[in-house]
Structure 1
Amino acid sequence: MRMLLKVDPIDSFSGTFRVPSSKPETQRAILVGTLAEGTSRVYNDLRCDETETMKAACRALGAEITEHEGFLEIKGIGGTLPDIRRVVQSRGSGLVFRIVTALASALPSPTVVTGDATLRKRVMAPLLDALRELGADIESIADEGKAPIVNWGGGLKGGTCRLPGDISSQFITAILFAAPLAEGPVEIEVTGEVYSQSYIRQTLASLTDAGIKLAVSEDMRHYHVEPSHYQTQDVTIHEDYTSASYLLAAAALFPGRTVLTNVYGDSLQGEFAIVPILEKLGVSVTFDEDTLSMIVDNPEGSLCGDFEVDVMDCPNIVPTLAALGAYVQGSLKVTGGRLTRFHKASRIEAMAAELTRAGVDIEVLYADGVCDGFLVRGAQTYPGGVTLSSWGDHRIFMSLFVAGLRMQSANRFSGFEDVKLSFPSFMEEFTKAGARTTAVEEEDAPAGAVA
């Protein structure tokens, strides 16, 4: 019997909450530590299911990773890649699958890389084709162009590969991490628009700090990587702005003052865009460097006006913006989100379908025949009392959870267990604000409710 989470509405949202550390920064730091020779330390790391999956994969590659209070200690494998001959489990992490698949090309022996049912549906063909252009010997075990794969190893030769820029930045990140291990220089040519450039910048910063010799064109369509050795480094992980967006959205829906801690204030993350977006909506956001905190003042608790946001470089906050838009008295138009159709769920369509069920006036927008954004005309509140589906995507659940807090009666949600993927303390943080939740069996849902 499937369990749903019943969530009662709240009257206010204020207090002090802790923002989780960055998942992408943690994952990249673990990778760099794994590929370096010597010992690296990663301070203020995020510990969630998807970083655990990255650690498990890196241990399979030969790294020794020890967890301490407040930091990780990583003894890397250096330039000598082990003969592992094993299956590496990526579970639901697209980043882990894609990077390990690329790194396995440089291993001396065969490696199978697999994942769960959600991952096996995701697009992988462009990455596999690009790795083959660089000399990799890869086969899909089941459906062509998808996980699981067997990488027969034998080393990357180098050369030039081509990738589309409008499916996943993780393809570029994966090859950038593997390229220094190739026998010769690697050139990456990206076709079309390059979406989610902020994630590529995070990768480039990690590689540059680790001593990798690389160059990138101004338009981020051309990359050159020389064979080079990863160097050890100690890094401190900053806040995760995708996770922060749920707390910030809740703060924008109710009058009051909210303080978010574990906030350094400077970030390469594209999802930092949530801060200026809130400011345009009339919410005051200030940073306190001494206390590593963000102060959010929202005296009115009312979002009014007509706004337009391009999310080409911040796709992970698309569901959050849909939740916010439901309460903008006026309109919120979001464009540039076509890449989200390749995520765990087609996030624009998912949020539009579920918010429509709750009575929100939201319209999916298309560009060139592709789902690209939405237009939402909000209201002060909604009746609530509906059952909403996460579509198997934890970011859909967290965004719908926030939207439901200002409705008139309790809603029920599927997929609440999946917050452990990136924001394990999600329920704990919202409980501080007075949110009351109860796990109920699906059969107890009201007649006619659909999940």
Structure 2
Amino acid sequence: MQITPLNGPVSKTISIPGSKSHTNRLLIIAALTEGSVCLERPLYSEDTLAMIESLKTLGLRIETNPDRIIVHGDLRSIDTKHYELFAHDSGTTVRFLLALLCLVPGTKTLKGNKRLSERPIHDLVEALRKLGAIIEYVHEKGQLPIKILSSQLSGSSVELKGDLSSQFCSALLLISPYFACGLTINPIGKEISKPYIDMTLSCMKEGGVEALQLENGSYFISAHQSYKKKHYAIEGDFSSAGYFFAIAALTKSKITINHLNPSSSQADRNFLYILEKMGHRATYFKNSVRLEGKELIPLDIDMENCPDQVMTMAVLAAFAHGKTSISGVRSLRLKETERVAALKRELGKMGVRTEDSHDTLSIYGGSPHAAEIDTYGDHRIAMAFAVAGLHLPGIIIHHPEVVNKTFPTFWTCFEALK
């Protein structure tokens, strides 16, 4: 797909879909809630459909309407038999499901595609084993597929490494009301992408379950709690909005995005603060945010708390004269592709020099030229480099359909800017 640049700055308003992170968390919460639960404005994407289909495989009845999902039934309605579940390429699905399946009767086999099978899962498996789960690796240790043979958890305290994925902690937190004696999660080491854990805590609290973070960093969820809420409104996705804020910054446009909660706990809301630090002007309304693009300047920034926006920031940095240094990038090496290597390769095609260490990426920006962009099956690579195409003639995105993983309507919203 060849991107046609804008003719000049624009002033546009667009609406983005619901948050993927909220949708998949609330689908798990709905599966743990007695009775029917309605989720308004959900995201339908490959990642959330993987979760929906998995819950259907377990026997839950799920109505999917354009503007809402209704989940009927809970763990009590699941029969004791063998289940085969396929998480496709969805990290949230496989990790959240793994924890949930430790409460489900029968024998469960959890699979994913090749790249997902290579992504970290072992630390979560070990934590669940310490809590009483019986889990086996079907082939290679630390990789999918895995088989879950038990259907209850009996421990009350567990240590969990937090330096690879915040989804491990979120997975345990989501199922914590099912621990008869409560649960204490003791993170080991520095927690990566902490705002995603905060989002999980926020979803739990909205559902009626209180989790306390203690002074030592542990999470404590007392016994005898349960999810009660029957109706949720899913926020617009700040991860999806980030590409359009970046377009405003790069093209000096004014772009307003509806259905955003300015006080959201979503991690990628932090990207707005970074853009403001660059000198762009953000205006916050009750249910929307507008960004007015100014000049691009290089920055020295830590993006550990919003890693999904690193690719977008790197593309913007390619146009900012000088050196931009981004730290907190180590988790990108374990995503849909090795994202740091992919960024370096594609920016190199555009004549942009880069350097990296284990946890940092430096971009020497200025005057990039157009290139054909390989996307490596990674939705965020495609969307980040599409941003460049609205300013720089000649950008071609290979396999643009990869955006379906998290933002199927991306290209429709993209074209609406013209």
Q: TM-score range by the shorter chain?
A: over 0.9
8 Å CA contact 1:79–1:229 kept in 2: the answer is no
8 Å CA contact 1:190–1:221 kept in 2: the answer is yes
**Aligned counterpart, 2:398:** 414
Tell me how far apart the structure 1 counterparts of residues 166 and 137 of structure 2 sit (CA, whole Å): 21
Shift of 1:84: 4.3
Give the SS at the match of 1:396: helix
8 Å CA contact 1:60–1:84 kept in 2: the answer is no
In the alignment, does 2:379 pair up with 1:394? yes
8 Å CA contact 1:318–1:348 kept in 2: the answer is no
In the alignment, does 2:303 pair up with 1:318? no
Give the SS at the match of 2:299: strand
**Aligned counterpart, 1:376:** 363
Give the SS at the match of 2:359: strand
Shift of 1:161: 2.1
Shift of 1:201: 1.0
Tell me how far apart the structure 1 counterparts of residues 344 and 8 of structure 2 sit (CA, whole Å): 25
**Aligned counterpart, 1:197:** 194
Identify if the C-alpha distance between structure 1 residues 232 and 60 changes in structure 2 by more than 3 Å, giving closer, same or farther. farther
Taking structure 1 as the reference length, the TM-score comes to: 0.87
State the Cα deviation string for residues 205-260 of structure 1 (Å, max 9, x = none).
22222233533224644444535332233111112111111111111011232222
Aligned counterpart in structure 2 of residue 340 of structure 1, from 332, 339, 342: 332
Identify if the C-alpha distance between structure 1 residues 107 and 337 changes in structure 2 by more than 3 Å, giving closer, same or farther. same
8 Å CA contact 2:255–2:291 kept in 1: the answer is yes
Shift of 1:143: 1.3
Give the SS at the match of 1:418: helix
In the alignment, does 2:283 pair up with 1:296? no
Which amino acid letter does the alignment assign opposite residue 362 of structure 1? T
Where do 5+ consecutive residues of structure 2 fail to align?
none
Tell me how far apart the structure 2 counterparts of residues 227 and 348 of structure 1 sit (CA, whole Å): 44
**Aligned counterpart, 2:40:** 43
8 Å CA contact 1:9–1:404 kept in 2: the answer is yes
Give the SS at the match of 2:346: helix
Aligned counterpart in structure 1 of residue 103 of structure 2, from 73, 81, 106: 106
**Aligned counterpart, 2:89:** 92
Tell me how far apart the structure 2 counterparts of residues 125 and 133 of structure 1 sit (CA, whole Å): 12
Tell me how far apart the structure 2 counterparts of residues 70 and 266 of structure 1 sit (CA, whole Å): 23
* Of 244-253 and 354-363, the range deviating more from structure 2: 354-363
**Aligned counterpart, 2:320:** 328
Shift of 1:194: 0.7
Where do 5+ consecutive residues of structure 1 fail to align?
435-451
* Of 313-322 and 220-229, the range deviating more from structure 2: 220-229
* Correspondence 1:46-445 to 2 at 5 A: 46-77=43-74, 81-218=78-215, 220-226=217-223, 228-289=225-286, 292-298=287-293, 300=294, 302-304=295-297, 306-364=298-356, 366=357, 371-379=358-366, 381-384=367-370, 386-407=371-392, 409-434=393-418
The aligned length equals 417
Tell me how far apart the structure 1 counterparts of residues 382 and 45 of structure 2 sit (CA, whole Å): 17
Which amino acid letter does the alignment assign opposite residue 124 of structure 2? L
8 Å CA contact 2:388–2:395 kept in 1: the answer is no
* Of 254-263 and 79-88, the range deviating more from structure 2: 79-88
Shift of 1:81: 5.0
Note the aligned Cα RMSD (angstroms): 1.9
Shift of 1:10: 3.4
Taking structure 2 as the reference length, the TM-score comes to: 0.94
Percent pairwise identity: 28
Give the SS at the match of 1:406: coil
Give the SS at the match of 1:88: strand
Tell me how far apart the structure 2 counterparts of residues 116 and 320 of structure 1 sit (CA, whole Å): 26
State the Cα deviation string for residues 292-330 of structure 1 (Å, max 9, x = none).
3322223x4x313x4221112111111111011111123
Give the SS at the match of 2:114: coil
The structure with more strand, counted as a fraction of residues: 1
